[in-house]
Amino acid sequence: MAPEHRLVSTPPGQLDISRVGPRLRAALQSLDGTVAGQKDAIEKIRQAASASGAGEQKAVAAARASAVIGIAARLSAALDSGLPFAADLNLLTPLIQIDGKASDAKLTELSNALRPLAEKGVDSRATLAAEFPVVAKAALADDLADDSFGERLLGKLKGLVSLRRVGADVQGNSVEAKLARAEAALDGGDLAKAVALVKSLPAPAARATSAWLARAEAHLGAQRTIDQIAAHAVSLLGAAR
C-alpha cells in the first residue's frame, strides 16, 4: 500500500497550492487564471448587456456558466487534496446573481449545501483509504468479542495483529468478508462501494467504523454536490448557445 501523504494545515478557507503535487499545482494555477478572466469578462459584458439585446444576454450567460464550471473544478481539486475550500466556494457568490433582478436558486441551494464543510474541508479519498486497515481490524475484533472467553481472547488478538483476509475475492456476508471487499474497493478508488459495504455491517462491528463512515459520507456528499454544480453549469452553457 502506498504511504499516506499527510497534508500540512492551511489557513481556513484557502487552498494552498504550494502543498500539492506539481501536476495538480499547475492545473490549479491554470484554473486561477481562467476563473479570474471569466469573472472579469462577466462584469464587462454585464455592464454592456443592460442596454443591449438578446445576443449580448447570451454572452453573459455563457461567460457565467463557464466560470461556474471552472470553480467546480477547483472545488473538486480541493476535495481530492483534503484541504479547506471556503475561498473557492466564495467565488460562486457573484455568479449566483443572474441579473440585477434575479438569482440562480439552484446554484444558491448547492452552494449553501457545501458551506458547512468549506472552512475545514473533508478527508480526501487517499486519507480515508490509508486509515481503513486500522478501522477494519478494530471492527473485526469487536465482531469476534462475544460473551465467550475464547472469542473475547481471539478478538483481542485480532486487535493486535492482522489476521484477517483481504482482497476483492473474499466471498460471503461475514464481517471479515465485507471488510476485505471494502478495503479492496478503496484500493481501487471506489469509495462509494466501500461505504455501502461498511454500512451493511452488524452493530458490534459498526461501532468501530462509525467515525470513519461519517467522514467518508461527508466526502461523498460534498463530491455529489460539486458534481451537481458542474452539471448545472453545463446545462446553463448549453442553454446560452
Q: Which residue bears the cell 466526502?
A: 219
Indicate the SS3 state at residue 35: helix
Are 183 and 166 spatial neighbours (Cβ–Cβ below 8 Å)? yes
Give strand pairing partners of 97: 103
- Determine the average pLDDT of the residues in 31-60: 58
Of 171 and 226, the structure prediction assigns the larger pLDDT to 226
Range list of β-strands (E), 143-217: none
Return the number of other C-beta atoms located less than 10 Å from residue 159's C-beta. Answer: 19
Of 131, 92, 146, which is closest to residue 209 (Cα–Cα)?
131
pLDDT score at 17: 40
- Greatest distance between any 2 Cα atoms in the chain: 83
Residue type for 43, please?
E
C-alpha cell at 43: 462584469
Of 7 and 232, the structure prediction assigns the larger pLDDT to 232
Give strand pairing partners of 181: none
Report how far apart, in Å, the C-alpha atoms of 217 and of each of 4, 86, 125, 193 are. 20, 19, 11, 11
pTM score over 0.85: no
Q: What is the DSSP string of 4-31?
A: P-PPPP--TT---GGGS-HHHHHHHHHH
100-156 pLDDT, tens per residue? 667 889 999 999 999 999 999 999 999 999 999 999 988 888 777 654 555 555 555
